[in-house]
Amino acid sequence: MQKYFFKGRKADVWISTVLYTLISLAIIGTLLAVVRPRIDEMRDHYLIDQTINALNQIDKTVTSVKTAQGMRLPVEFQLSRGILIFNTTDKIIQWNLPDSRYQYSEIGFPVTIGKSLSLKTLKSGDRWNISVQLNYSDINFTVNNQSSSKTYQSSSRVYSIWVENKGMVDNMLKIDFGLE
């Protein structure tokens, strides 16, 4: 009779261990479900700030290149998420981040950052579409010596952008963005 008494206690220990493990996993799962959206929101906020800084760096390089014909300077651009568009027709460089969890600015109203950088947030379901653009209406720019617009997708590699002053063409300064 005493043999069965100890077997029951050993089973109780195992059942308790399994129950405590399941309760711990449920608590960890609940915490992750609550905290994960906030982490994703902060990640998007950091990405937008990082992209604004990168576009400001491109703008500073263009400003430096404007000073002398033939000057050619490099800029590196990491595009981990989003789409980078060089629109030669509208004379803008635009970065779009669809489905952001972070609302960077008031919906529908463009926010000017610096001299030529503007940001706009649009609602898309329960998320936001962020658009940051550099406006170059005062220059004529090309991409790889072509007047066609180019779109670059996110990539793990760093894009090397060469900004070159090609001189005056039709009374406008021509800047070429050579992407490698």
By percentage, how much of the chain surpasses pLDDT 90? 61
Token representation of residue 95? 């970065």
Question: Tens digits of per-residue pLDDT, 19-66?
Answer: 999 999 999 999 999 999 999 999 999 999 999 999 999 999 999 999
**What pTM value is reported for the model?**
0.81
Residue that is written with structure tokens 């960077």 in the block: 104
Per-residue pLDDT at 1 = 47
Question: Tens digits of per-residue pLDDT, 77-114?
Answer: 888 999 999 999 999 999 999 989 999 888 889 999 88
| 142: CB partners within 8 A, 6+ apart | 88, 166, 174, 175, 176, 177
Helices (H), the chain: 2-65
Phi, psi dihedrals of residue 71, rounded to the nearest 5°: -70, 140
**Closest to 61 measured CA to CA, from 50, 51, 73:** 73
Provide the 10 A C-beta neighbour count for residue 114. 12
